[in-house]
Amino acid sequence: MNILQEMTLERTGFLATLEITNNDLESPINHFSATLTFQKAFTEDDDNSASDLFFVQPPELEGIQSIDGAGMIQPLQTAVIQWFIIPKILAGGTDLEGVYYKVSASLSGSIYDSPIPEDVLHVIPDTILVKPEPQLSITYFQPRDVDGDDPFTPDIVETPVPFPVGVLVKNMGYGVAHHVVVHSEQPTITENEQGLLFIPKIIQTRINDTITNEKSLTIDLGTIPPGQCRKGVWDMITSLSGEFTEFKASFTHASELGGEDTSIIREMNSFFIAHEVMNDQQGRDNILDFFADTDEDSNHIPDTIYESECLITPVDYLPDATINGAGLFYTITVLTEKAGWVYLKMNDPQQARLSIDAIQRADGKILNQNNYWTNVQYDRDTNERFAYLNLIDYVPENKSLYSLVYLSNINDNDAPETTLRFSGEHMKIDNDNYILPETQLFFTVIDDSPVGTWYRLNSLDDFKPAYPFTIDQQGTVTLEYYSQDASQNIETIKTASLRVISKLPAIQAFTVDKDQMFHAIESASVLPSHLDFAFSVQPNELTQKAEICIYQGEYSENAEWTSLSPVHSIVYEPLNNPDVNFHGMALIMMESRFQEDCILSGYWSVM
C-alpha cells in the first residue's frame, strides 16, 4: 500500500533583472557574458564572497540567445536577463533580523572586435535581506495492527475500525515556517498477490485533533515558529483485519528549486505506534500523543511517547503485571521500581468483546480513557487469535493497584448506525448515487460493541455478509443494508439508490469570449456589459442538471477572489439529450471561472 503526499510552504526568493541596451547604430555587442555575484553587505571581512549561499535558476532571456560568452545584442536593441534566486539554508543566519547581501553581476563583451571596458559594463549592486529559513523534522506514525473484517468469521463481516496515520512537523530552524500544507492522495494498493477484498481509504483528517472537512485530504498546519510543532492525522480504515509488517516514509526534492541545497527538510522518520495516548501530567496540552515503538524489538513493544508538542518521553515496559477478577470487575497489580511512565500489556479476560467503563488507580486517580485499550492480534503461523488489554500511566515509586470495570452489554439498547461508502469514482445527485462498474462499495458502522453488516440488491436474494463488492451490470439498483451489534440490537434497514453507468459526466469544452472581457489601455481595463460563454458535457448516460452561477468580486494574484457574492443564477432543468450543450449570455462584473466544487455535487457552474 502506498500513500503519495506533497508538502508545500512559503519560501523566500528574489527575482534579479538586468537590462542592457546597445546604443550603437551599426555594431552588435558580441561575446557577451553575465554572471551573478553575491557578497555579504556591511562587513569588513576581506573575503566576503557569498555565491555559495544561493541557488540560481537558469536565466530567462529576451533579446539575446545566451549569456555564456557567445551572446549577441543587436544594434539599438535591449537584452533582458532574469534570474530567480533562492537562498540556501545557511544564508539567513541565526538572527531573526536576517543577513544583508549585495547582488551584482560580472559582465563582459566586445564591440567592433574590441573588449568593452569594465567601467562601461559596470553594474551597480542591489541589496537584499535574507531572513533565517525554517528546518523541518517530519515524523510519521501508524499502527502495526489494524481492525477490519475478521477472516475467520465468514458469516459475519465486522466493521472497519478507524486508525490514525499521523505526522508531527517540528521546526528546528531559526526562521518561521509559513503556511505549511500537506496534500495527500487516497492510498493505493501496490501489490495484492492473493487477490483479497482489501480496501484502504482515508475517511477524515484532523489538525491538532480538530476534525476538518471530511471530503478534503489536505492538512493545513499553518505557521510553525522556530522550536514549535504541529500535529496532523489522516484517519483511515481497511476492509480487512491484519498487520502491517513494514512502514517507511521518504521524500524527494524539486531539483528546479535547488534540490537538497535549498531543502528545508532536515530529517524524516517513521514509526509504528500502539495507540494515540494522552500525557495528562500538569502543564501538558490536551492533544493526543503517539505511543511509538522506536527500537523495533521482536515483540513490537512501544517504548516512547512522541508528544504533540514534540517532546519525547521514554516509557518502561513492565511485563510482570497481573490481572485477577471475574465478571465485569478486575484488579490489576504491578510493582514499580521508580516513578515514571510505564506500559502494561496483559491478556484481556473479556477477549476484546466488551468495552472498558473505567480504570481507577488505588490512590483515586481515574485514568484518561485514551490511556487504556484492547486490541486483537493473530499468530502468523497458526492464525490463533489473541486479545490484549493495554494500559499506560505515570506511576509513583511503589506497588500500584488498579480497579478495572468492563461495560456490560445488558443495558445496551442502541442500534448500530451504518454508513455506505465508495472507493472509486462516485457522484451523488439528489437521492441517486452514480457509480461505475469498477467502483467498490463497503460499509462503516458506529457502535460500542463488535458488529456485523449485511446487504442485498433489488430485494432478490437473502441478506448476505457485507464484504466489499462491485456491481458489473449497468442500470438502476436498490441497495438494502443493516448492521447488528453484540447485544443483538438490529438497525432498521436502510436503502440507497444506485445507478451504474459507464462514465461519469465531465466538462468536454469550455469557452469564454475573452476579447469582450478586458481591453487593455495602459494599466486600465474596460468591463463589458455582457459576456458570451459556452460549455459542453461529454456524452454519458446521466440526465444532466446544470446551473450557471454569476459572481462578482475583486481578484488578486495572491488571494485570488477576495470578495465574492452571487448576483445571478440560471438553472437548467434536466435534459434527456446525452450530449448536452449550453450557451448563455448574462451580465457579469468580473472574469468568469469554473468552480470545481460544483462538479462534486453534480451541478455545472460557470462563475
pLDDT, one tens digit per residue, over 150-188 is: 655 666 666 777 888 899 999 999 999 988 888 887 766
If residue 598 lies in a helix (H) or strand (E), which one and from where to where?
Answer: helix 597-601
What is the pairing mode between strands 432-435 and 494-500?
parallel
If residue 269 lies in a helix (H) or strand (E), which one and from where to where?
Answer: strand 265-277
Map residue 588 onto helix, strand or coil. coil
Per the listing, cell 488571494 goes with 559
According to the model, what pLDDT value does residue 530 have? Answer: 57
Map residue 597 onto helix, strand or coil. helix
* 559, pLDDT greater than 70: no
Whether 29 contacts 109, CB under 8 Å:
yes
Higher-confidence position of 47 and 90 = 90
- The DSSP line for 198-259 is --EEEEEEEETTEE--TT---EEEEEE-TT-EEEEEEEEEESB-EE-----------GGGTG
453-473: average pLDDT: 88
Cα–Cα distance, 280 to 287 (Å, whole number) = 10
pTM for the whole thing? 0.72
The alpha carbon torsion through 469, 471, 472, 476 (nearest 10 deg) reads 180
Map residue 413 onto helix, strand or coil. coil
Cα–Cα distance, 594 to 546 (Å, whole number) = 13
Cα–Cα distance, 375 to 345 (Å, whole number) = 10
87-106: average pLDDT: 91
According to the model, what pLDDT value does residue 574 have? Answer: 40
How many angstroms separate the Cα of 55 from the Cα of each of 13, 34, 43, 265, 539? Answer: 10, 16, 22, 16, 49
What's the grid cell of residue 442? 463497503
Cα–Cα distance, 87 to 103 (Å, whole number) = 12
Cα–Cα distance, 484 to 501 (Å, whole number) = 32
279-292: average pLDDT: 93
Instruction: Identify the weakest region by mean pLDDT among 365-369, 495-499, 562-566, 603-607.
Output: 603-607
- The DSSP line for 436-468 is -TT-EEEEEEE-SS-EEEEEEETT-S--EE---
How many angstroms separate the Cα of 77 from the Cα of each of 22, 119, 171, 445, 607? Answer: 6, 21, 49, 72, 43
Cα–Cα distance, 261 to 133 (Å, whole number) = 12
Which residues, in sequence order, are CB contacts of 83 under 8 Å at separation 6+?
A: 15, 16, 36, 56, 57, 59
b vs e for 250-263, b when ≥16 Cβ sit within 10 Å of the residue's Cβ? eeeeeeeebeebbb
Map residue 371 onto helix, strand or coil. helix
Handedness of CA 280, 283, 284, 285 (dihedral sign): positive
Cα–Cα distance, 514 to 528 (Å, whole number) = 10
Most confident by average pLDDT, 143-152, 251-260, 371-380: 371-380
Cα–Cα distance, 159 to 240 (Å, whole number) = 9
Per the listing, cell 557574458 goes with 33
According to the model, what pLDDT value does residue 546 have? Answer: 55
Cα–Cα distance, 402 to 360 (Å, whole number) = 5
* 524, pLDDT greater than 50: no
Per the listing, cell 495602459 goes with 522
Cα–Cα distance, 179 to 223 (Å, whole number) = 5
According to the model, what pLDDT value does residue 116 have? Answer: 92
